[in-house]
Amino acid sequence: MGTVESFDAGVGLGEVRGPDGTLYPFHCTEITDGSRQIDPATAVEFTLAPGHRGRWEARAVRPLR
């Protein structure tokens, strides 16, 4: 579980803060509800996967509503 820290709808990029405090970037296509938009402070579940630049990224970002 984590919380969306930021999301820029214009570029489709955001960051999720994990339970250990680490920030993980994500792209809007990873939001599982199909909306491609999510508000900061939204509680989410997500998985981690290695990204293109060797950094961990949030995948399958699912809002908990």
Domain residue limits, the chain: 2-44+54-60
Q: pLDDT 10s digit of each residue in the chain, 65 long? A: 999 999 999 999 999 999 999 999 999 999 999 999 999 999 999 999 999 888 999 999 999 97
DSSP code per residue over the chain: -EEEEEEETTTTEEEEE-TTS-EEEEEGGGBTTS-S---TT-EEEEEEEE-TTSSEEEEEEEE--
Query: What are the two backbone dihedrals, phi and then psi, of residue 29, each rounded to the nearest 5 degrees?
Result: -70, -10
- Beta carbons within 8 Å of 54's beta carbon, 6+ residues apart: none
pLDDT score recorded for residue 53: 83
